Structure 1
């Protein structure tokens, strides 16, 4: 069995990060470093939450 990659998932829910992204965009911050960092964090949270829901559904 292949080794399990280290989890670097977000500690915050994707919905919380999404709200920060929306606020930043409304303030004209799309394309800023903060925006890009939030996008990366949001994507990690989405993957993490998706994995958890798959496990829950399978159980």
Structure 2
């Protein structure tokens, strides 16, 4: 897993990351390093959006 940046920038919207995940699933790349990294990014974005909405 890549190191966490000292000053993380704004997360991309979860919906954008979700589209990339869907594309990887459709192309059969489930389980790839890119897929797993996107899942981690999606969770962080979803949490940030949820926290921001509260």
Q: Same fold (TM over 0.5)?
A: yes
Gapped regions of structure 2 (runs ≥ 5)? 1-6
Equivalent residue number for residue 3 of structure 1: none
Could you tell me the TM-score, scaled by structure 1's length? Answer: 0.74
Could you tell me the TM-score, scaled by structure 2's length? Answer: 0.81
Equivalent residue number for residue 21 of structure 1: 21
How many residues get paired? 49
Gapped regions of structure 1 (runs ≥ 5)? 1-6, 55-59
SS in 2 for 1:42: helix
Give the number of the structure whose alpha-carbon radius of gyration is greater.
1
